[in-house]
Structure 1
Amino acid sequence: MQRNALIVAGLVVVASLAGAPGTALAQSDDELVTLTIEVVNPSSNQRLGGVTLVATWNGGEERVTTASNGQALIDVPEAATVEITTDDDQYTRNEPYRIRVATERSHTIEVSRKADLDVVVNDAEGPVANARVTLSQDGVEVVSGRTDSDGLYQSGTVAQGEYTLAVVKPGYYRTTQDIVVAGSPERTVSIERGRVDYDVVVEDPHFDPARPVADATVSVQGVGEVQTDDNGAATQLLPVNSRLEVTVSKEGYETATETVTTNESESSLVFELSREATLSLTPVNTRVVVGEVVPVEVTNAYGEPASGVTVRLDGEAVARTDENGRATVRIESGGEHELTARGGGATSEAVTVRGVGEGGETATAETQETTEPETTRATTAPAGDSGPSPLTTFGPLVVVVLLIAVGAAYLYRRRRDDAPNPWADDEEEEEPEADDDDEMW
Structure 2
Amino acid sequence: MASIRVWAVVGIAVLAVFGLGAIGAAGGGAAQDDAVTLTVSVEDRDGNPVGGAQLTATWDDGETTATTASNGRAFVDVERAADVEIDVAHDEYVRNTPFLVENATERDVTVDVARQGGIVVTTTHDETSVADVTVTVRKDRVRIVDGETTADGEFDSGVIEQGEYTVSVVKQGYFQQTHEVTVDGDVTQEFELRSGSVLLAIDVADDYYEEPRPIEGAQIDIEDVGTVTTLSDGEATVRAPVNAWLTVTADREGYSPTSRSVRIREVDRNVSLMINREPTLAVEPSNERIVSGERLTVSVLDEYDDPVEGATIRVDGEDVAETGDDGVATFRLEGATQREIVAVRDGIESEPVTVRVVADEPETPTPTATPTPTETPTPTETPTDEDATGFGAAIALVAIAVSLFLLRRRG
What is the aligned partner in structure 2 of residue 290 from structure 1?
Answer: 292
Would you say how many aligned residue pairs link Structure 1 and Structure 2?
359
Name 2:403's counterpart in structure 1. none
Matched, 1:41 2:44: yes
Pick the aligned partner of 2:135 from 116, 133, 136. 133
What amino acid maps onto 2:77 in structure 1? V
Q: Which residue of 2 aligns with 1:231?
A: 233
Cα deviations by residue, 1:319-372 (Å, 9 ceiling, x for unpaired) = 333433333444423342222222243222222222334769xx99xxxxxxxx
Pick from 304, 312, 317 the counterpart of residue 319 of structure 2: 317
Post-superposition offset of 1:265 = 2.9
Give the Å deviation of 1:121: 0.8
Q: Which residue of 2 aligns with 1:188?
A: 190
Q: Is the 8 A contact 1:62 1:74 kept in 2?
A: no
Q: Alpha carbons of 1:136 and 1:333: their partners in 2 closer, same or farther (altered >3 Å)?
A: same
Looking at structure 2, the residues matched to 134 and 253 of structure 1 have their Cα atoms a distance apart, in angstroms, of 43
- The residue identity in structure 1 corresponding to 2:49 is L
Question: What letter matches 2:105 in structure 1?
Answer: T
Q: Which runs of 5+ in 2 are unaligned?
A: 1-10, 24-30, 365-369, 390-411
Q: Report how far residue 260 of structure 1 moved.
A: 2.1
Structure 2 letter corresponding to 1:128: V
Partner residue of 2:247? Answer: 245
Question: 2-side partners of 1:291 and 1:117: how far apart?
Answer: 90
Tell me the alpha carbon deviations over residues 283-340 of structure 1, each in whole angstroms, 9 at most, x when there is no partner: 3332333333444332211122233322332222333334333334444233422222
Shift of 1:266: 3.0
Identify if the C-alpha distance between structure 1 residues 185 and 284 changes in structure 2 by more than 3 Å, giving closer, same or farther. same
Question: What stretches of structure 1 of length at least 5 have no aligned partner?
Answer: 1-13, 365-395, 426-441
Give the 3 Å change call, closer, same or farther, for CA 38–344 of structure 1 in structure 2: closer
- Please give the alpha-carbon distance, in whole angstroms, between the structure 2 residues aligned to 1:75 and 1:307: 72
Report the CA distance shift for 1:297/1:80 in structure 2 as closer, same or farther (over 3 A).
closer
How far apart are 1:248 and its partner, in Å?
0.9
In structure 1, the partner of 2:107 is 105
Aligned CA distance change for structure 1 residues 295 and 178 (closer, same or farther; 3 Å): same
Q: Distance in 1 between matches of 2:83 and 2:297?
A: 79
Partner of 2:53: 52
Deviations along 1:393-426, one digit per CA (max 9) or x if unpaired, are xxx9x96xx57x65x97xx99xx99x9954999x
Residue 60 of structure 1 deviates from its aligned partner by: 4.6
Q: Which structure has more strand as a fraction of its residues?
A: 2
Structure 1 residues 92-121: Cα deviation after superposition (integer angstroms, max 9, x where no partner): 111121212333433232211111222111
- Alignment of structure 1 residues 29-178 onto 2, 5 Å: 33-42=36-45, 45-57=46-58, 58-67=61-70, 70-77=71-78, 78-124=80-126, 126-178=128-180
1:210 is matched with 212
After superposition, what is the alpha-carbon deviation per residue over 1:213-259, rounded to whole angstroms, capped at 9, x for unaligned?
Answer: 22211111111112223333333322222222211111111111222
Q: Contact 1:38–1:109 at 8 Å: present in 2 too?
A: yes
**Corresponding residue number in structure 2 for 1:271:** 273
Q: Could you state the TM-score of these two structures normalised by the residue count of structure 2?
A: 0.75
5 Å-filtered alignment, 1:384-395, equals none
Residues 180 and 357 (structure 1), Cα distance of their counterparts in 2 relative to 1, 3 Å cut: same
Whether the aligned pair in 2 keeps the contact of 1:53 and 1:84 (CA below 8 Å) is no
Match of 1:303 among 302, 305, 314: 305
How far apart are the structure 2 equivalents of 1:257 and 1:289?
51
Provide, for residues 37-62 of structure 1, a one-character-per-residue CA deviation record: whole Å limited to 9, x for no partner.
Answer: 333332xx241343424142454524
Percent identity of the aligned residues?
34
> 2: distance between equivalents of 1:307 and 1:49?
79
RMSD, aligned CA: 3.8
> For 1:168 and 1:47, how far apart are their aligned partners in 2?
39
Aligned residue identity for 1:50? G
1:137 CA drift (Å): 0.5
Distance 1:337 1:309 in 2: 18
> Do the aligned partners of 1:32 and 1:75 also contact (CA within 8 Å) in 2?
no
1:341–1:347: 8 Å Cα contact kept in structure 2?
yes
Kept in 2, the 8 Å contact 1:36–1:71? The answer is no
CA distance in 1, matches of 2:186, 2:43: 22
> What letter corresponds to residue 103 of structure 2 in structure 1?
V
Q: Which has the higher helix share?
A: 1
Q: CA deviation at 1:162?
A: 0.9
TM-score by length of 1: 0.70
